[in-house]
Amino acid sequence: MTSFANIRLDEIKRDCRYYTGYKPCHRFDGCPDCPHYAPRGEQILIIKLGAMGDVLRTKAILPGLKREHPTSWIVWLTEAGSESLARDPLVDEVVTFNPAGLLQLEGRRFARLICLDKDRHAVSLAARIEADRKQGFAPTEYNTISVWNEAAMYALRLGLSDELKYRINEKSMPQIVTEACELPWIGDGYSLMLNDAMRASADKRWHEILGVQGQGKTVIGLNTGCGPVFATKGWSLDRMKDFVELMRKRSDVVLMLLGGPREREIHRELMRVAGPDAGVRIFDSGNDNPLEFFFALVAKCSAVLTADSLALHIAVALQVPVVSWFGPTCAQEIDLYGRGEKLVTDFACAPCYLKVCPKEVTCMESLSAQAVADAMDRVLAASAS
């Protein structure tokens, strides 16, 4: 065995995926002779900064990349707050988009760079980083958006034509980004890594709230929010109240309210509607849960009811059956992978992607509580069969 006291720089396996340079890898105390040496292979950089739901479903490209580059070292650059969404057994390194993170990319040359963000700072960065092959979105000399490769043109055209995006396109977003990377589309899904500590905390919270009375119940997660950018895609508060009233009569179902800080007042109102006699059948999971704890809560649900939102993509990633409703956004871009049902309103003006709806009765207000409950029962029956 070669002693580390006399090892030369050229004998150190600096390209090994276990090597860091600042602490032992604890696999073998002799770098030149190590039987565990595993070269990193081609370095691949994925730039997908936001939004959070898009970061998650873009991970559908990972299986195809690994099939094409089985020994590759995949680096994912994303915004602060989305790191837990980008982490994956197929991702070797998650880098945060901040000054310290960008310094980690300096001086590196990648075999393949994939930019799936249309943000100008993302495409500008893609132009600056050295790579043998670039795919996805690129900058123009006018500080606008173009593409690196012909296969990414379809993704660009979707942003240029409402007719193509709203009426003609039948491809899901995972398929669109996979094809933009010149990978074959075979229906690859995406997944989430659950933090063991957060999973244990969710189990504890679950037991504290449900106790013995909740055993054997079907737990339905009602996600009450949808983010601030397109708030019109959220179900109306009145229809959610109607749904709570329906669930109060169901002895076989436990309804769990899921939401963030923006939904705090909605949850209070829904719990007021439920009343003190609702008991264990309806409860509020809280509005200040860490993101990874939210993952663990969703994973414990029998099904999730949600708008087109981050919670939808989390449920899909965790293979939790979903009922999701669509009006202002494109249902065809969402792939439930056969584990759920999409309720699409039939308003002539939808989809619209408007931030404020000018109509007196919106498409989301027209979606009845009974329609959602019926879809929930169908999805639960299908998942049980």
> DSSP states of 20-69 as a string?
-SSS--SS-S-GGG-TT--B--SEEEEE----HHHHHHHGGGHHHHHHHS
**Are domains 43-180 and 196-384 of this chain identical in fold?**
yes
Side-by-side strand order, sheet with 218-223:
282-284, 253-258, 218-223, 303-307, 322-326, 340-344
Question: For the chain, what are the domain ranges?
Answer: 43-180, 196-384
* pLDDT recorded at residue 228: 74
In degrees to the nearest 10, what's the CA dihedral of 332, 335, 340, 344?
Answer: -10
CB 32 within 8 A of CB 7: yes
Third-level CATH fold of 43-180: Rossmann fold (3.40.50)
* pLDDT recorded at residue 32: 86
Q: How far is CA 289 from CA 21, 106, 223, 260, in A?
A: 36, 35, 13, 7
**CA angle at residue 260 from 327 to 90, to 5 degrees?**
85
CB 256 within 8 A of CB 220: yes
Backbone phi, psi, residue 39, to 5°: -60, 145
3-state secondary structure (DSSP) of residue 374: helix
From the CA atom positions of the chain, what is the Rg in Å?
24
Sign of the CA dihedral with 148 first, then 153, 155, and 158 last: positive
* pLDDT recorded at residue 155: 98
Tens digits of pLDDT across the chain (385 residues): 555 778 899 989 999 999 988 888 888 887 888 999 999 999 999 999 988 999 999 999 999 999 999 999 999 999 999 999 999 999 999 999 999 999 999 999 999 999 999 999 999 999 999 999 999 999 999 999 999 999 999 999 999 999 999 999 999 999 999 999 999 999 999 999 998 999 999 888 888 877 656 667 899 999 998 877 777 888 999 999 999 999 988 888 999 999 999 999 999 999 998 887 766 688 899 999 999 999 999 999 999 999 999 999 999 999 999 999 998 899 999 999 999 999 998 888 889 888 888 887 788 888 999 999 999 999 999 998 8
* Residue written as token pair 């949850």: 267
E strands in the chain? 43-47, 73-78, 93-96, 109-110, 112-115, 130-131, 134-139, 145-147, 218-223, 253-258, 282-284, 303-307, 322-326, 340-344
Q: What is the pTM of this model?
A: 0.93
Spatial distance between the Cα atoms of 103 and 77, rounded to a whole number of angstroms: 12
3-state secondary structure (DSSP) of residue 307: strand
Long-range contacts of 275-279 (CB under 8 A, 24+ apart): 275/248, 278/248, 279/213
Spatial distance between the Cα atoms of 79 and 69, rounded to a whole number of angstroms: 25
Backbone phi, psi, residue 11, to 5°: -90, -15
Sign of the CA dihedral with 374 first, then 334, 367, and 263 last: positive
Spatial distance between the Cα atoms of 151 and 168, rounded to a whole number of angstroms: 18
309: DSSP letter: S
**CATH superfamily for domain 196-384:** Glycogen Phosphorylase B; (3.40.50.2000)
* pLDDT recorded at residue 279: 60
Tell me if the bond preceding 351 is cis, omega within 30° of 0: yes
Closest CA to 70 of 101, 38, 37: 38
Tell me if the bond preceding 231 is cis, omega within 30° of 0: no
Q: How far is CA 312 from CA 222, 229, 323, in A?
A: 11, 16, 9
